[in-house]
Amino acid sequence: EPEVTQTPSHQVTQMGQEVILRCVPISNHLYFYWYRQILGQKVEFLVSFYNNEISEKSEIFDDQFSVERPDGSNFTLKIRSTKLEDSAMYFCASSGTSEQFFGPGTRLTVL
Amino acid sequence: GEDVEQSLFLSVREGDSSVINCTYTDSSSTYLYWYKQEPGAGLQLLTYIFSNMDMKQDQRLTVLLNKKDKHLSLRIADTQTGDSAIYFCAESPMNRDDKIIFGKGTRLHILP
């Protein structure tokens, strides 16, 4: 069964450093998303992406965040200068004609 | 704005039924979901219901929707230890590329 994959599973970084979180969506899906879940809190929408551009972004998704689909398979989330409060689990999702399928997440720890 | 509320904890004895409740605010919600998250794992879609339905049953899972009260429930029959997880209620509007709004999740604890 096709699935969304994410790498790395855990990333530790120093405050102020740039991180890139990677996702491989399901191959025939056209809609892509990033969500995050701060420990103990709800899953929050960050951004949706379709046809090589951002469809919608939340107020969390400020200028420090960017997304890219650099080739036909990867979908990345970049945080330019990480802050302590960026520590969270980041989930990628993709959808085709029905529901969104979520990846296993990348746990980002900012020290 | 859109919001989804659910209780944070539920304890149920093994073999009993679990009922997890949720309320939402967005009257334009078309899809209502239940996701399961096991420790250290991602979000697994358990089931979803369209807003024009009142009930959906899928094996041990029964979803009830009261659209007037904006109330959604998930009933798990014959609860097993493997059902121990966090259950997220979520909603999204009609468009396929719309974001999903999640509740905080209900941690289901199974008592022996």
Residues 6+ apart with CB under 8 A from A10: A106, A107, A109
Identity of the highest mean pLDDT range in B5-9, B38-42, B75-79: B75-79
Write the pLDDT tens digit of every residue in A89-103.
999 999 887 778 899
Q: Residue B63 pairs with which residues in a beta bridge?
A: B56, B74
Question: How many of the other CB atoms lie within 10 Å of CB of B84?
Answer: 15
Query: Quick one: pLDDT at residue B97?
Result: 62
Single out the residue of A45, A104, A12 nearest to residue B1, CA to CA. Answer: A45
Q: Is A43 on the interface with B (CB under 8 A)?
A: yes
Q: Residue A84 pairs with which residues in a beta bridge?
A: none
Contact A91 B42 (CB under 8 A): yes
Q: Is A90 on the interface with B (CB under 8 A)?
A: no
Query: Quick one: pLDDT at residue B1?
Result: 63
pLDDT at B96 over 80: no
Query: Quick one: pLDDT at residue B83?
Result: 96
Q: Is A24 on the interface with B (CB under 8 A)?
A: no
Write the pLDDT tens digit of every residue in A39-51.
888 899 999 999 8
Percent of chain B with pLDDT over 70: 96
- How large is the average pLDDT for residues B29-33? 84
User: Which residue on chain A is closest to B40 by alpha carbon?
Assistant: A104
pLDDT at A68 over 70: yes
Distance (Å) from the alpha carbon of B37 to chain A's nearest alpha carbon: 10
Residues of B in contact with A33 (CB under 8 A): 99
